[in-house]
Structure 1
C-alpha cells in the first residue's frame, strides 16, 4: 500500500466520521445554546436543567438517524475497506 491510497482512505474515513456525527453535534449545540439562553433569562442555575434535556434530545436524534449512520458505515466498509483488505 502506498501513501496515496493510505491518505485517501484516511480522508474518506474522516469525512464519514464527520457525516455520522454531524446530526448529534448539531442537536447538542442547539439544545445547549437554547437552554443556556433560558437559564440566562430566568437566572435559574440548575445543573440538571442543562444535562437532561440535552441528553434526551441527543438520544432522540440518535434513534432517528441510526439507519443513516449504519448505512454510511456499511457503504464505507463494503466499498473501501474490504476490497482493500482483499487486495482487489
Structure 2
C-alpha cells in the first residue's frame, strides 16, 4: 500500500464519518438554537431545559437514522477496507 491509497482511504473514511454524524449534529444545532431563543425570550435560565430536550431529540434521530448509519459503515467496510486488506 502506498501513500496515495492510504490518504484516499482516510479521506473516504472522514467523508463517511461526516455523513453519519451530520443528522445528529444538525438536530443538536437546531435544538440548541431554538431552546436558546426560547430562553432568551422568556428569561428562563434552567440548565435542564437545554440538556433534556436536546438529548431526547438526538436519541430520537439516532433511532431513526440507525439503519442508514449501519448501512453506510458496513458498505464502506465491505467495499473499501476488506478489498484493501485482501490485496485486490
* Both proteins in one fold, TM over 0.5: yes
What are the residue-to-residue correspondences of 1:1-88 with 2, within 5 Å?
A: 1-88=1-88
Alpha-carbon displacement from aligned partner over 1:62-87 (angstroms, at most 9, x marks no partner):
00000000000000000000110111
Alpha-carbon displacement from aligned partner over 1:13-48 (angstroms, at most 9, x marks no partner):
000000000000000000000000000000000000
Counterpart-to-counterpart distance in 1, 2:63 and 2:24: 10
Please list every run of 5 or more consecutive structure 2 residues that lacks an aligned counterpart in the other structure. none
Question: Runs of 4+ in structure 1 displaced over 3 angstroms?
Answer: none
What TM-score do the two structures reach when normalised by structure 1? 0.99
How many pairs align? 88
SS at match of 2:45: coil
Counterpart-to-counterpart distance in 2, 1:21 and 1:32: 16
Alignment RMSD (CA, Å) = 0.3
